[in-house]
Structure 1
Amino acid sequence: MRWTLKPAPDPSKTTQLAQELKIDEVLAGLLVQRGVDAFAKAKSFFRPSLDDLHDPLLMTDMQAAVKRIAKAVANQENILVYGDYDVDGTTSVALVSSFLQSYYPNVATYIPDRYEEGYGVSYQGIDYAHDNDFSLIIALDCGVKAVDKVAYASEKNIDFIICDHHRPGKKLPEAIAVLDPKRDDCEYPYDELCGCGVGFKLCQAIVQANDWDFDLLIPYLDLVATAIGADIVPITGENRILAHHGLHVINSSPRAGFKVIIENMKLKNKFTITDVVFKIAPRINAAGRMKHGQHAVSLMTETDELSAKTMALEIEEFNSDRKSADQSITIEALDQIEALGEQERYTTVVYDASWHKGVIGIVASRLIERYYRPTLVFTKSGDYLAASARSVKGFDVYNALEQCGDLIEQFGGHKYAAGLTLKAENYDAFKARFEEVVCATILNKDLVEEIKIDSILPLASISPKFYRILKQMEPYGPGNMTPIFMTQQVQDTGYGKCVGHEDAHLKIRVTKPNDSKHDYNAIGFNLGSKCDLIVDKKKFDIAYSIDENEWNNEVSLQLRLRDIS
């Protein structure tokens, strides 16, 4: 683990902002680091306003999309809302289908089967649309590379509207509209929307075209916030506005499906973006991983709470099966790395035909926790091998896969996460090429996990007021990460110990020497191995974030240790 202290923000801007906002200079510095360097920017940062959302018509092809949907409604056409089986895809389908159904009945949904059809638009899905008299497909969180499939649909007199946020290929599909802020010819002011975000902009454009009240869209923001958190897009700009207001919907008037999930988990505090990522998203994902993504869409569109409870229990079972599968496969993958003597490679590439395709992405992330390097986990999928790729910070795995393109049947994704298929006979050649490409292009520092420190912080500066302002900087995520502080030369008060299964975690109370007034409980998950650093009044440095701990109905501030040295 390497610690990197972020460059200090401009001191004159920090001082001025601290005075204008009447806050601590450390807090002002955090804001300046995030580009919030003036009073007006701070006002929009702390009070994100839906009035600041961009005009959806600024997105290329948006007008054409709205017109085609209006034509479908006027002509009583059947509309099929089609989306990927992950959280972003299923929330997108739930949002757009339920919005359209609020004023037009001839709307149905379609989620491809992860195992029979694979990712994205499928020929099977198009045949389903043709057989059931659908003349318009709205594809969400997929489709920007589906050139051949959109052409196939066109031969069957089916039109496509594509709402995607992935990188387009060299050629765009010949659809009625391709809504993707990452298009080279799209000048939309914000290009980091998730798929559900693009779907929301389509709904916003329909509302504008009909001169309806924008407030009609607010109940759908919980879906957008969930997709933003799960898809790990930057929580900046429009995403920050949408996530902020979506979390408010989840906490104040959640849809039936979310309400029963939250009730089942017996959460006492306000739901945060972290809760979305680690509590709601895995359950939604589990449906597509273990059974079928349509289960998740049904849960998120269900309005009856009793029915939602039945669906949520079913999804809870899927999630339990998912946990069991990912744990056992991770153990098998780690054993395979050791058996092959590949602990010192620049990449991890493992394969077993029996591994569950629905959890290989999770397993790839687990392997990165052990061996911090670009990772692919393969399994058998029909006539091909399918893999999920995950990367480490600073390394673009998508570009690396492009350099192996002649060995791959198809691939897609992002800088840090991708999926691909290849022929079984190409596996060994691909594994060797991928190692070669990564070895030649990755920097040594990118193979060591980094903790970015926002600021050095004296323990004496931590207070309830300091924490209250930190809380107002939420929601955290890429582009606005949870602030991490460093305090040097602290020591344990003498009661520190390892806790948890196999003493995996570290629980201490830190203080500065000769300053008993400012001491804080601290918990370090998976830091049990560093227990020897805290004994005998040794001095050590800590990297941490600040959160709250509730015990016996008492709430106190605690330090969440990221590392100690």
Structure 2
Amino acid sequence: MDNIIKRRPLSNNISLPDTLHPVIKRVLAARDINDVSELDYGLQNLLPYSLLLGIDKAVNLLYEALSKQARILIVADYDADGATSCALAIKALRQMGAKNVGFLVPNREKHGYGLTPEIVKLALTDSLLAYAPPGLVPDLLITVDNGISSIDGVEVAKQHGMRVLITDHHLPGEKLPKADAIVNPKQNGDNFPSKNLCGVGVIFYVMMALRARLRDNGWFSSQNEPNLANFLDLVALGTVADVVTLDYNNRILVAQGLRRIRADRCCPGIRALVQVCGRDQKTLVASDLGFYLGPRINAAGRMDDMSHGIACLLSENDFNAREHAQLLQTFNQERRLEEAKMQLDALEMLDTLGTIEKMGLCLLDEKWHQGLVGILAARIKDRLHRPVIIFTYDKENKIRGSGRSVQGVHIRDVIDTIATQHPEMVTYFGGHAMAAGLTIPRSQFEAFQQAFDEEIRKYLSADDLQGIIFSDGTLSGSDFNLDLAKQLKMLTPWGHNFPEPIFDGEFELVARRVLKNKHLKMQVRPLDGGPQLEVIAFNTVDTSWPPNVSRLKMAYKLDVNVFRGLTNLQLMANSVAVNYD
């Protein structure tokens, strides 16, 4: 078996009621949920915005800008978190009375990441501003999901008379930009208990604080007060798509957003995305946001320009939203085709290398698409169970890389260590624990390869390079039922560091067939008794199995399969291996 299956340890302090299904109690206890109150996702349980460092300065800036009808420009990142952050900021500010607000999002290939001096100069050229009123030269520049490392960009903005508010969630460096205000729960001295807010979560909190100030000052005596809960669909999408840890506070935000989407109280853009993805809006779950909606928003930034994704989320009617969503669908189809080519190239490169000795792997190809190197890094990381950075050519003899990491290795800190020890190696870097981006001189690639591998070896051993699946244990025959699968599916938002339940066990193989030359469809029966079950194992082939296979070991999820109007229980296999015992 390629994967090692380990059982999740259970909390020793369980006070969950006996009315819960025993399997659900076990699953929750393995995630340190010891009381049902931790499943109460009411908005009253959100952490208070007052705990965020810099929130008062941010609100002062925004209040002054609204009072003077100053020109406001949002500078967004080019991923789903950045797009949802941007859309939320624009909608909220407009509903609070801002009349001169627009946005600018860097093009990944032309401009690179973040608030660079080049982006500030673009901000001074009103003809290049997407969805900006004519003549907009910003008085206040607000970054969303970026900016914490934009020291030079902030300096240029200040030189041109702009005030700057940074809202971000990425790790700060040793030096902070000299902005007028910074809101980032990860900055030193911040007492906000959750460090896992993503960009859209941060700007949502800023808007909550601004609304409170406006309310206290009688602002809404002459206009309607916005219900910010109406923007939680955007918060949920950005939070899940950015793969941040789903701690209790984030689960509240995601659960509330999902409730609104299911009740069709979402924005037209999200409704249209659900439709082009072919998902059921009434039963939408967090994984649908991560695996279906998020990639289509991201495809705009990867294949063309994120302005298309933001336009979809800003659409005010279903007709326009569907047009934008269909364009995002086209981008996503192009992304999948290009990604498949890149993955084939990378696998051929790995075959040429033979046995992979490096624990930290760097690959470079000048033909690879800059917008897709992060996805490719994730694919190779999942295959080889080690941190991976994929590089492609940028400009001026520099190469740009995107890395993905495994549990136990903080990849942004690894790159920071290399940059500190070898300043000549790294031109720029940023990111967080599981993902990071960087630019290095082409001449330093081989040296960086070596330094990256050496640094990763400080954190990993040979045993860590085997894929590990953490299981919630075995199920008895009576547990294989549709009702339990539905309960688990809708119990809570599942996501990063709060994973959907996986079980393991041994089964009798009744029948099998291959779908589309890559997916394995099976009928199995638990060895200890129970019903015959349908199993789907995506991207799995069984060519190495002997012809007389009769028993399997599997790690799997209980899944609710809806096909041609019929709903049935299905096992979704994460790992399948022949049992030779």
Q: TM-score range by the shorter chain?
A: over 0.9
Q: Does 1:500 align with 2:515?
A: yes
Instruction: Measure the CA separation in 2 of the matches of 1:358 and 1:127.
Output: 23
Deviations 1:359-391 (A, max 9, x none): 111111122233332111111112111011112
Instruction: Measure the CA separation in 2 of the matches of 1:469 and 1:392.
Output: 30
User: What is the correspondence of 1:232-243 to structure 2 with a 5 Å cutoff?
Assistant: 232-243=243-254
How many residue pairs match? The answer is 550
Q: Does 1:228 align with 2:239?
A: yes
Tell me what 1:550 maps to: 562
Tell me what 1:433 maps to: 451
Q: Does 1:317 align with 2:330?
A: yes
Q: Does 1:491 align with 2:508?
A: yes
Q: Does 1:352 align with 2:351?
A: no
Instruction: Measure the CA separation in 2 of the matches of 1:382 and 1:532.
Output: 48
Would the aligned equivalents of 1:504 and 1:529 in 2 still touch at CA under 8 Å?
Answer: no
Instruction: Measure the CA separation in 2 of the matches of 1:524 and 1:311.
Output: 33
Instruction: Measure the CA separation in 2 of the matches of 1:63 and 1:533.
Output: 67
Would the aligned equivalents of 1:498 and 1:531 in 2 still touch at CA under 8 Å?
Answer: no
Instruction: Measure the CA separation in 1 of the matches of 2:196 and 2:539.
Output: 33
Deviations 1:98-134 (A, max 9, x none): 1111221111111011112101111122123345421
Moved more, 267-276 or 183-192: 267-276
Match of 1:477 among 495, 501, 520: 495
Instruction: Measure the CA separation in 2 of the matches of 1:231 and 1:82.
Output: 18
Would the aligned equivalents of 1:506 and 1:531 in 2 still touch at CA under 8 Å?
Answer: no
Would the aligned equivalents of 1:160 and 1:175 in 2 still touch at CA under 8 Å?
Answer: yes
- Alpha-carbon distance change, 2 to 533 in structure 1, aligned in 2, over 3 angstroms: farther
Normalized against structure 1, the TM-score is what?
0.92
User: What is the correspondence of 1:83-122 to structure 2 with a 5 Å cutoff?
Assistant: 83-102=76-95, 103-122=97-116
Tell me what 2:574 maps to: 562
* Residue type at the aligned position of 2:406: V
Tell me what 1:136 maps to: 140
User: What is the correspondence of 1:325-336 to structure 2 with a 5 Å cutoff?
Assistant: 325-336=338-349
Tell me what 1:423 maps to: 441
Tell me what 1:518 maps to: 531
Tell me what 1:8 maps to: 10
Would the aligned equivalents of 2:471 and 2:502 in 1 still touch at CA under 8 Å?
Answer: yes
* Residue type at the aligned position of 1:221: L
Instruction: Measure the CA separation in 2 of the matches of 1:154 and 1:449.
Output: 49
Tell me what 2:268 maps to: 256
User: What is the correspondence of 1:99-498 to structure 2 with a 5 Å cutoff?
Assistant: 99-102=92-95, 103-131=97-125, 132-211=136-215, 216-251=227-262, 252-268=264-280, 270-341=283-354, 343-383=356-396, 384-405=398-419, 406=423, 407-487=425-505, 489-492=506-509, 494=510, 496-498=511-513
CA-CA distance at 1:455 after TM superposition: 2.5
Instruction: Measure the CA separation in 2 of the matches of 1:559 and 1:533.
Output: 23
Tell me what 1:52 maps to: 45
Instruction: Measure the CA separation in 2 of the matches of 1:266 and 1:399.
Output: 39
Would the aligned equivalents of 1:204 and 1:214 in 2 still touch at CA under 8 Å?
Answer: no
Would the aligned equivalents of 2:53 and 2:191 in 1 still touch at CA under 8 Å?
Answer: yes
CA-CA distance at 1:403 after TM superposition: 2.8
* Residue type at the aligned position of 1:328: K
- Alpha-carbon distance change, 52 to 8 in structure 1, aligned in 2, over 3 angstroms: closer
Deviations 1:27-81 (A, max 9, x none): 212222222213xxx1341x31011112212111101111111111222210101
Aligned identity (percent) is 28
Instruction: Measure the CA separation in 1 of the matches of 2:27 and 2:20.
Output: 11
Deviations 1:416-474 (A, max 9, x none): 11100011111111112212222343222321111001233222233344334323422
Q: Cα RMSD (Å) of the superposition?
A: 2.1
CA-CA distance at 1:549 after TM superposition: 1.7
Instruction: Measure the CA separation in 1 of the matches of 2:416 and 2:48.
Output: 34
* Residue type at the aligned position of 1:388: S
- Alpha-carbon distance change, 111 to 536 in structure 1, aligned in 2, over 3 angstroms: closer
Instruction: Measure the CA separation in 1 of the matches of 2:138 and 2:27.
Output: 52
CA-CA distance at 1:303 after TM superposition: 0.5
CA-CA distance at 1:530 after TM superposition: 7.8
Q: Does 1:34 align with 2:38?
A: no
CA-CA distance at 1:505 after TM superposition: 1.6
Would the aligned equivalents of 2:502 and 2:557 in 1 still touch at CA under 8 Å?
Answer: yes
Would the aligned equivalents of 2:11 and 2:32 in 1 still touch at CA under 8 Å?
Answer: no
Deviations 1:509-560 (A, max 9, x none): 22335x3x5332222223433884894543x433211111223422121221
Instruction: Measure the CA separation in 2 of the matches of 1:271 and 1:297.
Output: 21
Would the aligned equivalents of 1:459 and 1:519 in 2 still touch at CA under 8 Å?
Answer: no
CA-CA distance at 1:253 after TM superposition: 2.3
Instruction: Measure the CA separation in 2 of the matches of 1:8 and 1:162.
Output: 41
Q: SS of 2:553's equivalent?
A: strand
Instruction: Measure the CA separation in 1 of the matches of 2:83 and 2:477.
Output: 44
* Residue type at the aligned position of 1:35: D
Instruction: Measure the CA separation in 1 of the matches of 2:485 and 2:165.
Output: 45
Tell me what 2:74 maps to: 81
- Alpha-carbon distance change, 292 to 455 in structure 1, aligned in 2, over 3 angstroms: same
CA-CA distance at 1:155 after TM superposition: 1.7
Q: SS of 2:139's equivalent?
A: strand
Instruction: Measure the CA separation in 2 of the matches of 1:396 and 1:445.
Output: 18
Q: SS of 2:494's equivalent?
A: coil
CA-CA distance at 1:182 after TM superposition: 0.8
* Residue type at the aligned position of 2:23: V
Instruction: Measure the CA separation in 2 of the matches of 1:440 and 1:236.
Output: 28
Structure 1 gaps of 5+ residues are: none
* Residue type at the aligned position of 1:119: Y
Instruction: Measure the CA separation in 1 of the matches of 2:544 and 2:568.
Output: 24
Instruction: Measure the CA separation in 2 of the matches of 1:63 and 1:298.
Output: 30
